[in-house]
Amino acid sequence: MTNLQQLFLQTRVDRQQANMRILSYVLPSYIVVSIFTWLVYKDPHYLHWFLVPIGLSGLIVLIDAVNWMTGRYDLFDPAGILGLFMAHFFFAAPLMHITYDYWMRYVIPPADWRDWLGWMAWVNFFGLVIYRVIRDFGFSIKSLPKRTMRWTINRRRFLIFVIGGLLLTGGLQMIVYAQSGGIVGYITAFEEGAAENFKGMGFVFMISESFPILFLMFWVVYTQEKKWSKSWLVIIAILGVYFILKLLFGGLRGSRSNTIWGLFWAAGMIHLWVRPMSKQFIAVALVFLISFMYIYGFYKAGGVEGIQALVEGGSAKEDLQSSHNRGLETTLLADLGRSDVQAYLLYRLNIPDNGFEYAYGRTYLGSAALLIPSSFWPGRPDTKLKEGTELQYGSIEDSPGQKFSSRIYGLTGEAMLNFGIFAASTSFIIFGVYVRRLRIWILTWEKGDSRLLILPFLINLSLLMLGSDSDNLVFVCIKNGAVPFMILYLASNKETVYHTALEQKEIRR
């Protein structure tokens, strides 16, 4: 190829990249304006100042979402995945609350929810600006570390540890089934009250429910180079087997997130180790996951009878939806969003003389203390349950018999419970640092690095950071991550490597 041809091709590539960069800013603006125009035309109730901060937040997150959809970001780049999730979390969900007239139950609502959705959107907007600055400022190929660690799997050790792990986890689950009277008895125990019937079994579940991910790790490592393993038919079949295993190992006792995030982890491992997945495949998978969340909501609400009500439809389905607040809007706005909950916390904090006392970091300490069994530390610090309950309903001491609220408040919600309104935006600092670190790992961990097997789990944590609380994160890390990480750590050889060709790597920003 002549120099003139190379110059022509490079110019064309540069022009395409410039066009894609422009598109990533123009298309989000078009999406926001189009949706707002349609909503105001459809319902004048949307003609409110709250559209301004929601629209600004939407612009920030939709840039990442568009970059992911147009291929500027890798399929499992956390910036792109978070962009898609945050497009719902910060932009679509607040608007859908108005559409569905769906709000949190059992509280005295504000006079106009739109005001507090708007104020909370301003808080989130400033937080998102902080997140983007921390994530991207000075981030380039030259900023990446030139010396890193590389983990390579020692297949002999891995085989010993993973088979031992499968035997241990599978055996423990069989014991659980045997004590429950089989799978039917296990389901019955869940229907009669999982909190009581499975009390004290957290440590057992932490180990036993690692079976599906260990099984998939074993399959991925030992079939990576096989041509037949790259067939879509084989991949779909193995994901189907994995899905069934996730149901058998935890899913049937009401642990929906255990199954959903486990599937995300599985898809990531296959993408990084076996065969890259397409966006079309991911789109179909998202439809499946949302459908599963909706259907599983009926199982969680009523067990087998809940599924029967869903299948039969009619009044049985409507009665269960009404009594347990289960519906598609619940899936989208309560399970995958925190807009009304966080707006309500903000509203309550702005009530003069509300008598609320901040936790001042104690909820985070209480979450960390969950790592220590209560038998060793009987007076462990409280988690977010105390402050969350008192901000919604008043002092527990003044209301004997008041039950603790089990609501989840998310990153900004828990920050407000601890330090007040201004802490909500600054909580994005830690979030931005974590996502930046994830992107560095993605660019420096080479193909075949055993840590790529847990990378999807680490990306999953970034999603959970937004919508979950610190106690949920501690629980997920220990229950879902401890056993697989320990096995990979013990079965991997570690060596220091120097990246002399990082400048040749393409970074999608």
Angle between helices 113-136 and 410-419 (to 10 degrees): 100
In which residue are the tokens 């707002």 written?
36
The structural domains of the chain, with segments of one domain joined by +, span: 11-139, 154-291+427-498, 334-425
Q: How far is CA 495 from CA 84, 85, 317, 440, 441, in A?
A: 36, 36, 58, 18, 16
- Residue 508 confidence (pLDDT): 35
pLDDT at 478: 87
Do residues 364 and 417 make contact, with C-beta atoms less than 8 angstroms apart? Answer: no
pLDDT at position 9, please? Answer: 40
Contacts of 74 (CB under 8 A, 6+ apart): 80, 442, 508
Helices 455-467 & 256-273, crossing angle to 10 degrees?
140
Residues 6+ apart with CB under 8 A from 12: none
pLDDT of residue 504: 37
Among 247, 253, 248, which residue's Cα sits nearest to residue 196? 253
What are the E-state strand segments in 98-213? 147-153
pLDDT of the residue at 14: 47
Q: Which of 469-503 are b and which e, b meaning 16 or more Cβ less than 10 Å from the residue's Cβ?
A: bbbbebbbbebbbebbbebbeebbeeeeeebeebe
Calpha distance 300→252 (Å, rounded): 9
As a whole number of angstroms, the distance between CA 277 and CA 239 comes to 13
Rounded Cα gap, residues 76 and 279, in angstroms? 10
The whole-angstrom separation of Cα 191 and Cα 238 is 30
SS3 readout for 195-223? HHHCCCCHHHHHHHCCHHHHHHHHHHHHH
- Cβ contacts of 150 within 8 Å, gap of 6 or more: 445, 446, 449, 494, 495, 496, 497
Q: How many CB atoms lie within 10 A of CB 241?
A: 14
Tokens 């920050």 belong to 415
Predicted confidence at residue 400, as pLDDT, reads 65
Report the b/e string of 208-217 with b at 16+ CB within 10 A. bbbbbbbbbb
Mean pLDDT per 10-residue section of the chain, whose length is 509 residues: 42 50 82 94 92 96 91 87 94 94 90 96 97 87 72 91 93 86 77 63 78 93 86 91 88 73 89 86 80 73 67 63 67 87 95 88 90 77 87 77 83 95 95 93 85 93 93 88 92 79 40
- Return the axis-axis angle of helices 455-467 and 78-86, rounded to nearest 10°: 30
Alpha-carbon span 260 to 247, nearest angstrom:
10
**Closest-CA residue to 144 (of 439, 450, 435):** 439
Tokens representing 29 are 């603006």
Q: If you search the block for the tokens 């629980």, which residue do you land on? A: 475
Which pLDDT belongs to residue 376?
Answer: 78
Exposed e or buried b per residue across 38-47, where buried means at least 16 C-beta atoms within 10 angstroms of its C-beta: ebeeeeeebe
Residue 423 has which token pair? 């802490």
DSSP character string of 237-278 = HHHHHHHHHHHHTTGGGT-HHHHHHHHHHHHHHHHHHT-PPP
**CA–CA distances in Å: residue 450 to residues 43, 269, 390, 491, 505:** 53, 10, 45, 9, 20
Nearest C-alpha neighbor of 403 from the set 393, 391, 418: 393
What sign results for the dihedral spanned by CA atoms 63, 69, 74, 76?
positive
Residue 358 phi, psi (nearest 5): -65, 155
Closest by CA position to 23, among listed 61, 79, 56, 72: 72
Q: Backbone phi, then psi, for 501, in 5-degree steps?
A: -120, 25
Q: What is the pLDDT of residue 369?
A: 87
Please report where in the chains the tokens 């909820």 appear, as a residue.
Answer: 363
- Three-class SS of residue 498? strand
